[in-house]
Amino acid sequence: MTSADVARRDEPAGAEEPPGPPPADSHDDHGGGGGREPRWVRPVLVIGAVLALLLLGGAGGLLLGLHNATGDLVAPASDSVDVGFAQDMSTHHQQAVEMATWERDHTTSPELRQLAYDIESTQEAQIGRMQGWLALWGAPAQHSGGYMQWMVGAPAHTHGPAVANSGLAAMPGMATPDELRRLRASTGTEMDVLFLQLMLRHHQGGVGMLEYGARYAQVPEVRNLAAQMLSSQTSESQYMTQLLAERGAQPLPLQ
């Protein structure tokens, strides 16, 4: 598998090239410099577009939901796999977007910039989709308790951790605040290697949730999205493992 094959595996014809590195003063995440829009603007715009499309679909009987005993469409329960998956995977994705945006803006490697751009754009769109579903279902954007409570009693064949009734304080594979500070403080090959290690572990940590969502979500669109994520992130993980090997580095162990 070549770098170009993987980096552009889902890229439609005529897709844009990733933007080049910004000027030195233009990486303010809150919109304070360089004329770039704040990072939060893009997911909000995506969510708005998704909501508009889903509401139009709902008018034609296509609103995402479950059929009750009388045949009416109803939203999934607040403690359902569908709602929990959309909430927790949105949070999981948000950190991946944060790391990918930093790498895209600061790496000097064209193949790393392309990979980071692919991850950023794909996962931002998926966040918008999941948050749009939650808004339509009248569910909070994030769960207030521990993570992954919707996976309580997950069968042993999944790759996720055992989840207590109270959930987990942190999801598997997530970078710690100290690791994110190290990423921002590093440069050159050191930064590229750390990005690959953190993103690979991040992808691996999400496998259990993706497998569980693909199997046990009740809404077909949620199952399909989880399966698509699992497939694309498996390919990305293989590619990142290859890139680490080319740089003489090893993956980080999954906590």
For 2-47, write each residue's pLDDT tens digit: 444 544 444 444 445 676 655 444 444 433 334 444 444 455 555 5
Other CB atoms within 10 A of residue 151 CB: 25
Q: What is the mean pLDDT of residues 156-160?
A: 52
Q: Which amino acid does the sequence have at 70?
A: T
Instruction: Give every CB contact of residue 8 below 8 A, 6+ residues apart in sequence.
Output: 15, 114, 118
CATH of 78-140+159-255, one of 1.20.1260.10, 3.40.50.920, 3.40.50.2300, 3.40.50.720: 1.20.1260.10
Which pLDDT score, from 0 to 100, does residue 24 have? 46
Q: Which amino acid does the sequence have at 26?
A: S
In this predicted structure, which of 127-131, 147-151, 158-162, 175-179 has the lowest mean pLDDT?
Answer: 158-162
